[in-house]
Amino acid sequence: MKKIMLVFVVLAATVLSSNAQIRFGVKAGGNFYTLGGDNVEGENINSKFGLNVGGLVNIPVAKKFKVQPEVVFSIQGTKEDDGGTTNLNFNYLNIPIMAQVYVTDGFYVEAGPQVGILLKADIKEEGSSSYSVKDELKGADFALGFGAGYTLPGGFGFNARYNLGLSNILKDTGEGELKNRGFQLGVSFLFGGTKGAKEKK
């Protein structure tokens, strides 16, 4: 996973130093996250809604191929209903690097790696105060994202993405396995393009 991230970072850095027309943007949307793994098998868990917001850089590599690094604050977790509601609340700073292939003008499919930095983790049981479980979770999470979207000529866009967690987020692997799983729906806006620094006038 780390090697995949390195390849994408090197590719993005190479393009940034080229003549590509780079566009910066912002994005926001809703998350529908849950948890997978043997620790939750047979449990009555449901997707938990949260928000995500962040920035992005859209970098053309070829006529129908672009690379899009993002930095996104994401509210994740899950909800368990077992005689009472228990909310697991996770805040991550996610850094996906997506490869986008444009099938037609404006419409694209995408895939790429993502690293998530854990900012906050707590549990809130019905009728009681929340308490932190951040020390029980790993500080980084690795995932693969798959999605599709459409960008209008003016820069406004729509996007849907599924993030498949690859790493066990529990520090103590002897306690089982937990992996993040999440579906995202969102909107984005790309600002006017800027030319690479080496563009000849």
pLDDT at residue 194 greater than cutoff 50: no
pLDDT at residue 134 greater than cutoff 90: yes
pLDDT at residue 107 greater than cutoff 60: yes
Mean local confidence (pLDDT), 103-118:
97
Q: What is the pLDDT of residue 145?
A: 98
Taking CA atoms, 81 is separated from 43, 47, 86, in Å, by: 9, 11, 6
Which residues, 6+ apart, have CB-to-CB distance to 134 below 8 Å? 118, 120, 121, 122
Between 29 and 9, whose confidence is greater? 29
pTM value > 0.75: yes
The pLDDT-based confidence of 103 (bands split at 50, 70, 90) is: very high
On whether the CB atoms of residues 57 and 66 are closer than 8 A, the answer is no
Instruction: Specify which of 36-45, 50-59, 125-134 reaches the highest per-range mean pLDDT.
Output: 50-59
Q: What is the pLDDT of residue 6?
A: 60
The pLDDT-based confidence of 197 (bands split at 50, 70, 90) is: very low
> Where do the domains of the chain lie, and which CATH numbers do they carry?
2-195 (2.40.160.20)
The pLDDT-based confidence of 10 (bands split at 50, 70, 90) is: low
> 25-45 pLDDT, tens per residue?
999 999 999 998 876 665 778
Taking CA atoms, 62 is separated from 78, 112, 138, 172, in Å, by: 39, 17, 37, 44
The pLDDT-based confidence of 12 (bands split at 50, 70, 90) is: low
pLDDT at residue 76 greater than cutoff 90: yes
State percent of the chain over pLDDT 70. Answer: 83
Q: Which tokens go with 73?
A: 């604050």
Q: What is the pLDDT of residue 99?
A: 98
